[in-house]
Structure 1
Amino acid sequence: MTESQDAMSGCLYIVATPIGNLKDITLRALEVLEAVDWVAAEDTRHSKKLLQHYGVNKPLISLHDHNELERRDELLARLEKGETGALISDAGTPLISDPGYHLVSLLRDAQVRVEPVPGASAMIAALSAAGMPTNRFTFEGFLPAKKQKRLHTLEALLAEPRTMVFYESPHRLLESLAAFKNVFGSDREMVVAKELTKQFETFVSGGVEAVLSFFEQHPDKVRGEFVLILSGRAVVEVDASALSSEAENLIQILLGQSLPVKQISEIVADVYGLKKKVVYQSVLELKN
């Protein structure tokens, strides 16, 4: 892009908005919303109330899952003419299980500037206060609505060692928790956070079955949006001599295929949830 083209192009700001408490918004976010030419919002009626609360009066453009592919070209054209816009979702950081990916991808391809204005995120807020490992985690978003697809999605995560974060709506919470119990068992540790940064913010923690029982016994708590945090599969420290016969059989099979020792160690460690260095030593012994 030439300097003259850059000067003529606008910018789309990705602006995080409150997830509960209206004071979650940042000073920079307010400055940007007051300065842009227009605001693209997931639900214009919802966002209008937020902007009015802060005295921001800007044209609102609807951008949601059902019209994003059609509207993105219109917004690209406006930005290329030199307009500036802001993208907001109903709550939190846009694109995190919310619309906006197709638009931002198009703008990046067209070399139109996209600038994040960071702020509230339900996922990060829940993780920061849940007391679960946060050095490594994976965000899985919303689970599929259909029962079998939901189970298959969770089964694919059975060996995941990282903390897992999900979003869930109130009308599917109990079904999803039951699916967690079915796949991961009753005792896998989890935390469910609801009404984050609001007056009745709640964290429910314990084994999957205990958390499910809590919400079954307190139907009045099954309201609002939920963040579900599940502990990853524990990596068990064992001596090489304690490897199961199944693990040793798999090692022998892989050795028979002339695979490198390092690759065999990685495969077996992943399948059985073991430390790679422990398996590596066992592979060397069995090989010799």
Structure 2
Amino acid sequence: MLTKKISVLGCGWLGLPLAEELVRLGYKVNGSTTTHSKIEELRKKGIQPFLLSFPENSSKTALAEFLEADVLVFNLPPSKIADTYEQLLATVLDAAPACLKHILFISSTSVYPDLNREVTEIDAEATPNASSLLLRCEHLVQQKPQLKPTVVRFGGLMGGNRHPGRWMAGKTDVPQPEAPVNMIHLADCVKILVQIIQQEKWGFTFNACAPEHPSRKVFYTKASLALGLTPPQFATQQEWQFKRINSGFLQQELHYQFIYSDPLTCLSSPEF
């Protein structure tokens, strides 16, 4: 079935550029925000705006209208509403109308423990009793098989106003200097989500992370210097605690080539 309308729940750092790209490609797009002042901005970008404030949102009518689409992109950052995130997701899923065919759930590679090796999608199982909030939420989504959900576990997010040069600049005794970083640029995030929708890759769980993994010391030193900031000082190598995210399954299924396969190459990019 041809996707015609997409609802993006959460038009922030990732959701807004995704919604803009979908509009550019000819889709009708609903976009949610919690901020009154952003309503007009969304409208000017060709996005049908909805003011949905969670958990205070009391308008079931507005939520129901927002969900009238072929695909829902669930893109709310759990860090801001961790205590109510699970219930919020359950509320949205329960309100899903018959016309909603698919859900694209944005998760994170933080679901993986530090196994001191390369990890793939099978190394973290979505279960109702998982210690990870996101794994429990992935399981909730997967309990709606009629929506043929796809889960995307993104690595560390960079690009736009998120420049990693600011994260460690000037710090001392930074641990794990030789551990690999697992990063992905905003441009790749948007392109991957669009490709999933266009190729109708439903019913999958994907890792989404740049294929190259420079060490923390190399990456954060170069990132800080790219902004003219004092690079961090790293501790003497301790016992290793790391994971190296493998995105091979995504690359294979989507025939996807990363825009920034090495996160070092974009640190001076004008896209930041």
For the aligned pair, the TM-score class normalised by the smaller chain equals 0.3 to 0.5
The structure with more radius of gyration: 1
* TM-score (norm. length: structure 2): 0.39
* TM-score normalized by the length of structure 1: 0.37
